[in-house]
A and B are shown apart, each in its own frame.
Chain A
Amino acid sequence: DTGVSQDPRHKITKRGQNVTFRCDPISEHNRLYWYRQTLGQGPEFLTYFQNEAQLEKSRLLSDRFSAERPKGSFSTLEIQRTEQGDSAMYLCASSLLLRVPGELFFGEGSRLTVL
């Protein structure tokens, strides 16, 4: 399968713990996005990378959140000191510059439950 893959698919943690999600984009895609989705809502943009550079961060991305894409390939999203309000689906998407603008390829998401 050559789509976007995310790991883990499900994570249950206790409040105050740190969690890390990994995203492997489609191999030639140079743009990578993180979104968050809560129940009944559409995905909300968190941050965006072009190659290894993090070019944009949403106001939703508090300082407990950090994302990296060290070699311009896979990316990690870490949440420190988790809170119950962080419970959501975290979606990763990738796209290729010069392909169809606005055509993002999404992974299946990582569902976080904070107890």
Chain B
Amino acid sequence: DAKTTQPNSMESNEEEPVHLPCNHSTISGTDYIHWYRQLPSQGPEYVIHGLTSNVNNRMASLAIAEDRKSSTLILHRATLRDAAVYYCILRGQYSGGGADGLTFGKGTHLIIQP
């Protein structure tokens, strides 16, 4: 399985942008890049996904390197409610974990300072 590498934790200030990095040097051409986050005492929540092009939605932006070996989740203006564990996940044609094939790592614990 293609794996991802994320920092264990990051800290940012409220109302500032946050850039969460993810390395996936063994990504294959058919692997999608998914981001989920998990707020304290809740289940994970889908954030965004992409394949090759950068993506934007109401929650965040996903910037994908040209060689696809890394990506960055961008929260444009962090709030205290964005404090969570953020998971970067590669989903291939078959990544295990059922038809939607999600294999979670440990993620990045994002701390937001007021």
Contact = CB atoms under 8 A, between A and B. Distances in A.
Contacts of B46: 100, 102-105
A5 B43 CA distance: 11
Bin the interface of chain A by size: 20 to 34
Given A101-B91, A102-B49, A43 B100 contact: no
Contacts of A101: 32, 91, 100
Contacts of B100: 31, 33, 95, 101-104
Contacts of A108: 41-43
Nearest to B103: A45
Interface string B74-114: 00000000000101010100001111111111110000000
Interface stretch (A48-56, A61-69, A71-79): A48-56
A21 to B, nearest CB: 13
A107 interface: yes
Contacts of A50: 99
Bin the interface of chain B by size: 20 to 34
Interface in B30-58: 32, 34, 41-46, 49
Contacts, number: 73
A31 B106 contact: no
A60 to B, nearest CB: 11
Interface in A11-66: 31, 33, 35, 40-45, 47-48, 50, 55-56, 58
Contact of A41 (B32, B44, B97, B106): B106
Contacts of B41: 108
B57 to A, nearest CB: 11
A112 interface: no
B110 to A, nearest CB: 15
Given A95-B100, A100-B46, A105-B46, 16 more contacts: A31-B98, A31-B100, A43-B44, A45-B96, A47-B98, A50-B99, A91-B43, A93-B43, A102-B32, A102-B49, A102-B100, A102-B102, A103-B46, A106-B42, A106-B45, A109-B43
